[in-house]
Amino acid sequence: MSATSPLRPVLPPDIRARKGSAPLVVLTAYTTPMARLVDAHCDIALVGDSLGMVLHGLPSTLGVTMEMMILHGRSVVRGCGKAMVVIDMPFGSYEESPEQAYRNAARLMAETGAPAVKLEGGAHMADTIAFLTKRGVPVMAHVGLTPQAVNTLGGYKVVGRDDEADRVMQDALAVQEAGAFSVVLEKVPMGLAGRITKALDIPTIGIGAGVGCDGQVLVIDDMLGLFTEFRPKFVKRYAELGRTADEAIATYAAEVRACTFPADEHSFPDQLPAKGPKS
């Protein structure tokens, strides 16, 4: 593929260069079929560690492993021809030391083919981000609410009101300084997210952070309405696929019980119809 091919996949420098131009469109994807849908419309397909809750029924992202991220990362890379794939580093795979982070980030990239990783944390992760970016690992940072720290934060709360605002701003500046090519702002108050976006040279990607960010990300199952009970304020449901699936399964169950499925058109006759004479 030539460097000028319209099918060249999006890479971290392209995302970095999008600062101040058209908003970046990001959705999570965890499987090849969803990745194909995301690839058709989005700039980035994020293999979020939210897959632990969304696909595997875990109570939080803390139980997600490298093996899970590699398995789903590979299947998303297979479904994307244009959108850039970013893979979350799971809890416990990068916090211990920059060397541990490098080993696991390199493994995620080498074993999936994704060109970038995402990790959670602000100023305290700056050394690690610098270590990775200097060694060929493009990093998307993630500040504000960092779900892997749910137990120290005391829940999935808005982060950055009142006294916390300056710390979130400093976190965003620190990850930029360390070399991150973009930063997710999660559950950050909209005014603060707008100020951070203006202060940074790298794109901000908001989730529950208002319209003033350089791009937006949502968990795909949330925006498709695949969960019937989970409705956080920051999620707009663009479809109600959970309800549609429930109705379809209920109809199937009723038809199987009533012996109206399968009908003849879904079954194979014992003999094929005789072919007519050739004219």
Catalytic residue positions, numbered: 186
Apex CA 77: angle with CA 219 and CA 65, to 5°? 65
With tokens 């469109």, the residue in question is 25
Report whether 37 contacts 56 (CB < 8 A): no
Question: Is 216 a residue that touches ligand KIV (CB under 6 A)?
Answer: no
- Per CB under 6 A, the list member of 48, 138, 144, 179 interacting with ligand KIV is 48
Question: Is 34 a residue that touches ligand KIV (CB under 6 A)?
Answer: no
What would the two tokens of residue 206 be? Answer: 């908001």
* Nearest distance from C-beta of residue 44 to ligand KIV, angstroms: 10
What would the two tokens of residue 121 be? Answer: 């944390």
- Shorter beta-carbon distance to ligand KIV: residue 155 or 276: 155
Question: Is 184 a residue that touches ligand KIV (CB under 6 A)?
Answer: yes
- Shorter beta-carbon distance to ligand KIV: residue 32 or 60: 60
Question: Is 202 a residue that touches ligand KIV (CB under 6 A)?
Answer: no
What would the two tokens of residue 44 be? Answer: 């980035």
- Per CB under 6 A, the list member of 15, 77, 192, 217 interacting with ligand KIV is 217
Considering only the stretches 42-50, 73-81, 173-181, 196-204, report the one whose residues sit in contact with ligand KIV under the rule CB under 6 A. 42-50
Question: Is 214 a residue that touches ligand KIV (CB under 6 A)?
Answer: no
With tokens 């994807």, the residue in question is 29
- Shorter beta-carbon distance to ligand KIV: residue 124 or 277: 124
Apex CA 90: angle with CA 89 and CA 95, to 5°? 80
For β-strands 24-28 and 215-218, DSSP reports them as parallel
Question: Is 219 a residue that touches ligand KIV (CB under 6 A)?
Answer: yes
The values of phi and psi at residue 150, to 5°, are -55, -35
Considering only the stretches 41-49, 68-76, 224-232, 266-274, report the one whose residues sit in contact with ligand KIV under the rule CB under 6 A. 41-49
Q: For the chain, give the longest Cα–Cα distance.
A: 87
The SS3 call for residue 47 is strand
Q: What is the dihedral of CA 236, 46, 8, 33, to 10 degrees?
A: -80
Contact characters 90-109, ligand KIV, x per CB under 6 A: --------------------
Question: Is 50 a residue that touches ligand KIV (CB under 6 A)?
Answer: yes
Q: What does the binding site for ligand KIV look like in residue numbers (CB under 6 A)? A: 28, 46, 48-50, 88, 184, 186, 207, 217, 219
